[in-house]
Amino acid sequence: MRNYDLTPLYRSAIGFDRLAQLAEHAASNKGNSGYPPYNIESLKDNRYRITMAVAGFTMDELDITSEGEKLLVKGTKVAEDKSRKYLYQGIAERGFERTFQLADYVTVTGADLENGLLNIELQRELPEALKPRKIEIGRSRVLESE
């Protein structure tokens, strides 16, 4: 894995530090393994869904936290009965922690666990000041000089 030095970007670009931090985070992958597998869907304008395969986890073992621009999904597996003797154990029973970076104004609107799939609904809600607005065209008055 390569490490990229983004120092030149910090020196020459003003106001892009958040973008550089996102690039550094994506490049480092900060421990996000491939477990559990997930999908990210674009449903409609400004609506998204993250679907995670969390087979074997109950609602009590899952925790979703949204703080600022980060979404943390954590699964903590309760210790199983040690008296079970598996001939083969292909279903992972380990905990996980997965972090998603959310864009500005993206909020979590709900979550649902069904058939081993955790669905997290997200929506981007732009403030009125940032939405496009129509500018009326009128006649300008010429100021008369005195």
pLDDT digits (tens, 9 = 90+) for 71-125: 999 999 877 777 888 898 887 778 999 999 898 889 999 999 999 999 999 999 8
Res. 146: pLDDT tops 70: no
Domain locations along the chain:
32-79+86-125
32-79+86-125 topology per CATH: Immunoglobulin-like (2.60.40)
pLDDT at 73: 97
Contact yes or no for 102/65 (Cβ under 8 A): no
Residue 3, pLDDT > 80, answer no
pLDDT confidence bin for 65, thresholds 50/70/90: very high
Query: How would you list the strands of the sheet with 117-124, edge to edge?
Result: 38-44, 47-53, 117-124, 106-114
pLDDT at 130 over 80: no
